[in-house]
Amino acid sequence: MGNTKEPIPTLSSPQQTAPTHATAPRTMHFALFITGSLWLLASMTISARAAQGIAERFNLTVAAALLEQLFLLFLLLVGFSLFQGILRRSGDLRTTNALPQRSTTRQEFLRGIALGWGMLLVAVLPMMLTGSLHLQFWLEPRAWGLTILSLLTLAVATLALEVAFRGFLYIRLISAFGVVTATVVLSLIYAVLSSFRPNATGLSIVLTFFLGLLFSLAYLRTHALWVGWGLHFGWAAATAVLLGLPLGGFSTYSEIVTTTAIGRNWITGGNYGPEGAAFTILVLWAGIAVLYRMTRNYAWEYTHAPIVPAGYAVVVAPPAAHTAMENAAAAAPAPLVQILGSTPTAPSTMAAIEEHLRRESDTSGS
């Protein structure tokens, strides 16, 4: 019996987001994580100063927040792509930052918005039932323009946050320490940074940690930021624009609806907003379950490892008698093939033709 050995079957994970260099050590990925974190801090400082300078120079104070987030997003995308070039000869801006172009991009984003919107409405349900929400409306024409500006600012700001925390940095940390460690560490960093926001509390920090887990799961299930961005934006827009509640301690977004939440802080979140209310913890856990089920098709299409056929090929030799018969048949001369004529040789059975042939024969004989 003869056999040839081939590799054992393996599972190779599809690279839907920023690809990593196969030979890069973990220390290299961790070094890039540290470098990217420093670049994030530098980008935040640069974008804030640049936006302030331009707003003052061209009298665009009303758009200063939008300009700041646009500058921040641009610096993050370009900077992370350049850092990716350390691992590869060139860094693709979209894949490096977990923003791949694919057919389901719009669908993922819209589903994320729907989930974030729905989660926020459930989170404020106790406030509505206890009569803790007091709404005031400002419906002047100028308010609509400012509301659109707030929505644009939130869209860019949430994308910048996702690129910063669940894009390049998260991928580098996964390559360095694995999924579980990277998810916990990055969510902790996200929560600690939230402690510097206005009116932050211990409960709000814990809630921000769970929000980090939720957004990380959105990336892990899709290998992209589209669902996470939609989820983040839907939550923020529903909080700040739809209900006019504080968003992470800030109350600078809503222009049409202004809501005052009166009651115990564990129900309303106080001046920090719903992200500081105890009931929101239950909402986040339910959101994790819904997100997991909602993304099952994306997980199958974009994250499941395809089976690569391989293994040990086994070739069984035929019996000796069979081989001898094949050799004898090959050595024997080729048989003769007789080709018959196409004209029938048997006499016709028709009486008239037979009589004619007999007369012709007698005539020729005489």
The DSSP string of 212-280 is HHHHHHHHHHHSSSHHHHHHHHHHHHIIIIIS---BTTB--S-SSEEEEE-S-HHHH-GGG-GGG-THH
Distance CA 88, CA 93 (A): 13
d(CA 323, CA 317): 9
Token pair 């490096």 is found at 96
pLDDT of residue 310: 62
Query: What would the mean pLDDT of 326-354 be, rounded to a whole number?
Result: 65
| Per-residue CA distances from 277 to 171, 175, 284, 312 (Å) | 31, 35, 11, 59
Exposed, middle or buried, 15 (CB in 10 Å: 0-12/13-18/19+)? exposed
Asked whether the beta carbons of 125 and 246 are under 8 A apart, the reply is: no
pLDDT, greater one: 348 or 71: 71
Tokens of 212: 């980090």
The CB-side HSE value for 115 (13 A sphere, CA atoms) comes to: 29
* Pair 85, 91: CB distance under 8 Å: yes
Does 19 have pLDDT greater than 60? no
What integer pLDDT is reported at residue 341 of this predicted model?
Answer: 57
CA-angle at 196, arms to 215 and 192, nearest 5°: 45
Whole-angstrom CA distances from 140 to 238, 257, 258 are 20, 12, 14
User: What is the average pLDDT across 139-164?
Assistant: 92
What is the spatial distance between Cα 343 and Cα 175, in angstroms, rounded to a whole number?
A: 84
Closest-CA residue to 228 (of 267, 185, 170): 170
Q: What is the mean pLDDT of residues 103-112?
A: 96
| Closest by CA position to 100, among listed 19, 25, 22 | 19
State pLDDT tens for residues 225-238: 999 999 999 999 99
Question: Is the pTM of the predicted complex or chain greater than 0.75?
Answer: yes
Handedness of CA 173, 176, 182, 186 (dihedral sign): negative
**Average pLDDT estimate for 324-339:** 72
Residue 140: exposure state from Cβ atoms within 10 A (0-12, 13-18, ≥19): exposed
Task: Give Cα 326 to chain centroid, integer Å.
Answer: 58
- Average pLDDT on 43-67 reads 93
The pLDDT value given to residue 84: 83
101 vs 224: CA distance, rounded Å? 9
The pLDDT of residue 175 is 92
In 116-231, beta strands by DSSP E? 133-137
> Can you tell me the distance from the alpha carbon of 114 to that of 166, in angstroms, rounded to the nearest whole number?
20
> How far is it, in rounded angstroms, from Cα 109 to Cα 104?
9
Q: Is the pLDDT of residue 5 over 70?
A: no
Banded pLDDT at 282 (limits 50, 70, 90)? very high
Residues 48-66, mean pLDDT to the nearest whole number: 92
Rounded-to-integer distance, Cα 268 and Cα 278, Å: 8
| Between residues 353 and 319, the one the model is more confident about | 319
Region 320-332: mean pLDDT is: 77
116-125, 146-155, 206-215, 347-356: least confident range: 347-356
Mean per-residue pLDDT of the chain: 84
Q: Residue 91's pLDDT band (boundaries 50, 70, 90)?
A: low
Domain ranges of the chain: 103-303
